[in-house]
Structure 1
């Protein structure tokens, strides 16, 4: 697939956007959402207020952009085609683990959890603009496999939750609670492979399906 090469001005705008989002994240963690003003973000990021307001007219819009950025996948990859549940879930699982391993994802959750009592709308934004669209994409993949006859899934919502939970409960959630929690790349791969095997054994239409190692 050919890519559109950004122009000079587009590239500069993207670089400034990245600076703004990084500065906003740092300030939200340092000062809290309420005490962080757009003026502070502009100063910390080194861009003019006019530039910041042009891209983000409100603090809510800035936070929504942080959510979308944190949950975006590299090059917005398409879901794998239906037909091989082990291979497909392997791809999705590795992408999910990579997504959860980003520092910006951990930062996002810390901001939401810290500010939830005073700003429940942040949690709503995180769910509706981040987690839910990602969940729906996994749900859509499992539904496609079900319709293709590869798996038999009566409750697609539950199956998608099971798969993502098996990965996030080991590689992500402890990072918010346990200081210094780190998971090696080898361990992450093992966690994903075991989640795939479990799903294939539970839902494959004709036995456990091919091994993820094949």
Structure 2
């Protein structure tokens, strides 16, 4: 993961120094920027080194922030780990909201399928999932937060499916179950082998065949004839 380098502090403008609120606003902005930088550095460090090998000192040095600043934002490695993983998975899953899904059933399902395959092909997600699984016993909150982040994808998908049901194009009694079935068909080939095998790869054509097969199977069961 590429990490932004810490640069020179931006000088305080006259407007910012003209009032207490201006100074406080500047300080808050700098604090937010430092916190964001620490999180990005922590994500890269944990993904590269794993939880046990990563240290607060190495993260602080890499982020070029003082230890006082580091511990002000994150009082322990445990806290930083949970926040860093949460930050990453929300970044990954929130990208789904930018996808434009066609209203027509067949093209829409293809777009959902392709978006899911793109998401689970992201090397950061694969590394994060391995990290979460490895630390699940010590950090159960991380697993719970992953499920919440996943709703950023599943809730939007469920809403799209429900609209197709309401319009009479699909006959689905349980939208959440139907979505899980569709995603499960994709995950079996695209996601889970990649999670377990470091050298697993699929070509674009292979992914497209998997998506097409899942779409056809889903429509054979749920499309109104």
Residue in structure 1 matched with residue 217 of structure 2 by the alignment: 198
1:111, distance to aligned residue in structure 2 (A): 0.8
Cα contact 2:41–2:59 (8 A) shared by 1: yes
Tell me which of 131, 146, 159 is aligned to 2:178: 159
Q: Distance in 2 between matches of 1:141 and 1:50?
A: 47
TM-score (norm 1): 0.76
Deviations 1:3-62 (CA, angstroms, capped at 9, x unpaired): xxxxxx89xx88994x64553234324554366454432322445557767877851333
1:173-211 CA distance string (max 9 Å, x none) = 1112123111111111111111111111111112xxxxx
| RMSD of Structure 2 on Structure 1 (CA) | 2.9
Contact residue 40 and residue 84 of structure 2 kept, 8 A: no
**SS at the partner of 1:117?**
coil
Q: Deviations over 1:70-110 (max 9, x none)?
A: 22326x3255253x211111111111111111111101101
1:3 aligned partner = none
Aligned 1:33-182 pairs, distance under 5 A:
33=51, 36-47=54-65, 58-59=79-80, 60-73=82-95, 76-77=97-98, 80=101, 82=103, 84-128=104-148, 130-182=149-201
Bigger proportion of residues as helix: 2
Instruction: Decide whether the 8 Å contact of 2:43 with 2:84 is kept in 1.
Output: no
TM-score (norm 2): 0.73
Return the alpha-carbon distance in structure 1 between the equivalents of residues 122 and 44 of structure 2. Answer: 15
- Quick one: structure 1 residues 61 and 154, their matched pair in 2 at CA, closer, same or farther if it must change by over 3 Å? same
Aligned length: 192
Structure 1: runs of 5 or more not aligned: 1-8, 207-214
SS at 2:224's partner residue? coil
